[in-house]
A and B are shown apart, each in its own frame.
Chain A
């Protein structure tokens, strides 16, 4: 069974630029999550999708972050414009059912200079 795929694995941008991350969850998993992990801390949930609907985006900085899952399968997370404090690893996870065991992708390491 293929795992959660993410791309790119690494990205370096300057502040005020925009960036997008892509995630393809495990086939058949209805729930998709995006997490932000700052160095030395545990992952923090940014947004949760159930199929193509948003379940929880309470910790998503909506002035600069956006995410979509248009067809209920893969998803993109965008940051526009980026700030220095957005430097982190962005993790995508999926689960078969809402709040079930989550399977994580390898993450995208973003560096904002």
Chain B
């Protein structure tokens, strides 16, 4: 079973920051937080991952709370192309990925 809880859907206006929350209250010390997204009719795409420090790359930022029980994926300037299902995954580096149902993000023009 997935170890994370995400809202089933969210809306965000185009050009605004999209903030996608994820709860992982049972995360253990050696488990990472990963984010993937899946655009309609495509395979999932890796976005970012982190252990305890905040991370940023060209796609997004990942903010992990100090107690590591929750995190937020931030898309700084959402575009229509960011409409997708976003999966938050908690896993040890040696474990397989277990996908939950994710959050369906709608970017509104």
Contacts and interface: CB of A to CB of B under 8 A. Distances in A.
A52 to B, nearest CB: 19
> Size range of the interface on B?
20 to 34
A44 B56 CA distance: 28
Instruction: Summarize B's interface: helix, strand, loop or mixed.
Output: loop
Interface of A: 4, 40-45, 48, 56, 91, 93, 98-99, 101-107
B109 interface: no
A106 B96 contact: no
Contact of A106 (B42, B46, B97, B99): B42
A2 to B, nearest CB: 14
A107 B39 CA distance: 12
Contacts of A105: 43
Contacts of B91: 99
B45 A104 contact: yes
B43 A104 contact: yes
Contacts of A106: 41-43
Contacts of A98: 94
Nearest to A104: B43
Interface in B68-89: 87
Given A42-B99, A45-B98, A104-B43, 15 more contacts: A41-B101, A42-B2, A42-B87, A43-B44, A91-B44, A93-B44, A99-B91, A99-B96, A104-B42, A104-B45, A106-B41, A106-B42, A106-B43, A107-B41, A107-B43
A32 B94 CA distance: 15
Residue with the highest number of chain A CB atoms closer than 10 Å, among B44, B95, B99 = B44
Given A40-B101, A41-B101, A56 B96 contact: yes
Contacts of B97: 45, 102
B93 A99 contact: yes
B104 to A, nearest CB: 10
A111 B87 CA distance: 25
A101 B43 contact: no
24 contacts: A4-B43, A40-B101, A41-B99, A42-B87, A42-B99, A42-B102, A43-B99, A56-B96, A91-B43, A91-B44, A93-B43, A93-B44, A99-B91, A99-B93, A99-B95, A101-B46, A104-B42, A104-B44, A104-B45, A105-B43, A106-B41, A106-B43, A107-B41, A107-B42
